Amino acid sequence: MIEKIPAKKMVITGDYAAAYGALLCDVDVVAAYPITPQTLIVEEFSNFVNDGITDAEFIMVESEHSAMSACIAAQAAGARTFTATASQGLALMHEMLFIASALRLPIVMPVVNRTVAAPIGIWCEHNDSMPQRDTGWIQMSCEDNQEVLDMVIMAYKIGEHKDVLLPVMPCLDAFILSHTVEPVNAPSSDEVADFIGKYEPHAVLDPDNPMAIGTFTPPEYIQELRYQTHVAMENAKNVIKKVTKEFASKFGREYHGLIEEYRCDDAEVILITVGTVTGTAREVVDDLRQKGKKVGLIKLRFYRPFPAEEIRKIAENVKAIGVYDRAISYGSGGPLFIETRHALYGLDLPVLNFLAGLGGRDVMTKDVEKMYEILLKAKEEKPAKEIYWIGTRGVSI
């Protein structure tokens, strides 16, 4: 249990926002292992425990693999759990991520997106979370620190829904959000408790009523289990839309479900963005609109489940669409580009990929302007290529 916490406005980092969101959700167990730039999340939560604000069980483990193992065990025993990680730490968890989703355990784990070695880097890149998109976790990307706090809260309500029962991974850009302070409106603990409700586990490990979970299973059953997880991910689409509407009604902040459209109604070309670049892209859209250019923007909030229907519906009325990626699937382009191109299969329009910001490189307004310049040209004539490395030394556009 936590002590009663009033609603307040704070100027906080994204890491603090993630930890505070977990506090407001009255989590029972936190498994902690440090890794830059995530360390502050579990460190801040340890302060909440030390100060007596919460009586959550704070478990210091020997690795990220152990952190996820501890959360799986605690969640299976009926606890609401929380952990956080980044980069190599997430990669070390890879094995256990499959187990959490297959056992239908709605663990919430913010990931602070950081480049994966080699070479070693601590700055923002999405190549840590994107390779985990087939593990059965719901995944989304935050634009600012307010969304970090709000998404941690919504993650519990989404993941714990009886039609979903899947773990959730809110992602935030390293340093751009994790270590940068912004004003954040935090609801009271009572408001959050009323919004997310009490965790009602579907099945609980109980010594008085023994059961086995995740045991050796023959081929006669596993395929059906995979199908059930697939259905749960599909169900998450409607649950996400419902939860974001409920959140807007209660707290006054609207997150528009799986995607957020910006000036798309009459747009001829549209850029899909993810994470903090979205704010920069909005400014570019406004500037180009003043110059008479019919451009629009889609903020991709969730990429698992992937909003294929929503994107296809918008794309049916435009002449070119571009996808921004801060990750690379070597030999095929960015992961979100691959997903989008698949969703738009059969439509007769250029679908282009813009790779920028890898390794933490800044994505400036001039870089986004270049993306729109290429898209506006593509609506008039067939582009020479599909994949563009923006701001990359030695690579011509």
Q: What's the rounded mean pLDDT across residues 76-97?
A: 98
pLDDT band at 1 (very low <50, low <70, confident <90, very high): confident
- Digit-coded pLDDT (tens) for 101-142: 999 999 999 999 999 999 999 999 999 999 999 999 999 999
Beta carbons within 10 angstroms of residue 273's beta carbon: 29
Question: Quick one: pLDDT at residue 360?
Answer: 96
User: For the chain, which residues make up each domain, given as ranges?
Assistant: 8-251, 260-389
pLDDT tens-place string over residues 175-205: 999 999 999 999 999 999 999 999 999 889 8
Residue 273's nearest CA partner among 137, 128, 110, 390 is 390
d(CA 53, CA 354): 45
Q: What angle do CA 108, 111, 233 make, to 5 degrees?
A: 50
- Give one word for 331, left, alpha or beta, with left for phi > 0 and alpha for psi -120 to 50: left
| CB burial readout 41-50, b (16+ within 10 A) else e | bbebbbebbe
Q: Rounded distance, CA 379 to CA 268, Å?
A: 8
Domains 8-251 and 260-389 in one fold = yes
Task: Please give the helix or strand (H or E) that residue 268 lies within, else none.
Answer: none
Q: What percent of the chain is predicted at pLDDT more than 70?
A: 100
Provide CATH code, domain 260-389.
3.40.50.920
Pairing of strands 259-262, 295-300: antiparallel
pLDDT in tens, 251-286: 999 999 999 999 999 999 999 999 999 999 999 999
Closest to 142 in 3D by CA, of 284, 299, 361, 271: 299
Q: Which residues contact 344 (CB under 8 A, 6 or more apart)?
A: 311, 312, 315, 321, 351
Query: What was the pLDDT predicted at 213?
Result: 85
Q: Which structure tokens are listed for 240?
A: 């996400």
Backbone angles phi and psi of 71, in degrees to 5: -65, -40
Phi, psi angle pair for 95, to nearest 5°: -55, -45
Compute the average pLDDT of residues 337-355: 97
Residue 396 has pLDDT above 90, yes or no: no
Q: What is the pLDDT of residues 52-85, one digit of tens each?
A: 999 999 999 999 999 999 999 999 999 999 999 9
- Bridge partners, residue 304, by sequence: 139
Judged against a pLDDT cut of 90, whether residue 358 lies above it is answered with yes
Fold of the domain built from segment(s) 8-251? Rossmann fold (3.40.50)
Q: Alpha-carbon distance 316 to 318, whole Å?
A: 6
Q: How far apart are CA 97 and CA 111, in angstroms?
A: 13
| Owner of token pair 């000036």 | 263
Q: What is the pLDDT of residues 240-249, one digit of tens each?
A: 999 999 999 9
Beta bridge partners of 302: 140
How do residues 370-392 score in pLDDT, each as one tens digit? 999 999 999 999 998 999 999 99
